[in-house]
Amino acid sequence: MTSIAPLPRMTVAEYLDWEPRQEQRYEYVYGDVVAMTGGTVPHNDIAINLLTLLLPNVRANGCRINLADVKLLVNNDGLYYYPDLLMSCHPQDLNARKFIQFPSLIVEVLSPGTADKDRTDKFADYQGITTLQEYLLISSERVGVDCYRRGEGRMWLYYPYSAGDEIELKSVGVTVAINDLYFGVNFEI
């Protein structure tokens, strides 16, 4: 069995210099460099379906939307993630070249290996982004979506969606049929 040597800890500057030259993507978590794994076909289909459904409204509002290959600066203390989809309308992000800083919508398509982290650690980290209005968690194993919307103060409101529901995304100003989100997605092996 071959073992993979762990990556050395890096400073933010070292990571930002090193990571663009790599063949795969790496998240940065306070000095630790974490390799990103590939997704499944359902994972990819869901992300593409959502992008297709949101893109007309996003562009009409003068915003930008990006898929998983775009890095998000979560905080200046050393936290960079690659969400599955993010949208920003902030003027500083509209011409961004290296990373997005001020998203209003972040989406994670859940996989068995990342679901716990997406629901806990990442959600806690994302709550510190003052421009973030909605955090969407989409299951890739069954039809199901959890939407967290910023409320008053530090409160986040929870909206679960299941088969047949309409998902209201206030940050984009659109309602999406969950059946359209899962169009063509096959859960069978």
Residue 71 lies in a domain: yes
Query: What was the pLDDT predicted at 40?
Result: 87
Q: Which structural domain range is residue 75 located in?
A: 39-181
Instruction: Give the per-residue pLDDT at 147.
Output: 98
Please name every residue paired with 106 in a beta bridge, in sequence order, or none if there are none.
86, 135
Q: How far apart (Å, rounded) are the C-alpha atoms in residues 159 and 136?
A: 10
Establish if 96 belongs to a structural domain: yes
Is 133 inside any structural domain? yes
| Within-domain flag for 19 | no
For residue 51, with 0-12 CB atoms within 10 Å meaning exposed, 13-18 middle and 19 or more buried, which class applies?
middle
Token readout for 58 is 């996003």
**Is 177 domain-assigned?**
yes
Residue segments in the chain with a per-residue pLDDT below the cut of 70 = 1-6, 189
Judge whether 34 lies within some domain. no
pLDDT score recorded for residue 36:
86
Residue 74 lies in a domain: yes
Number of domains in the chain: 1
DSSP string, 24-44: S-EEEETTEEEEPPP--HHHH
Residue 189: per-residue pLDDT = 65
5-55: per-residue pLDDT in tens? 568 899 999 999 999 999 889 999 999 999 887 788 999 999 999 999 999
5 located within any domain: no
- At 6 the pLDDT is 66
CATH of the domain at 156: 3.90.1570.10
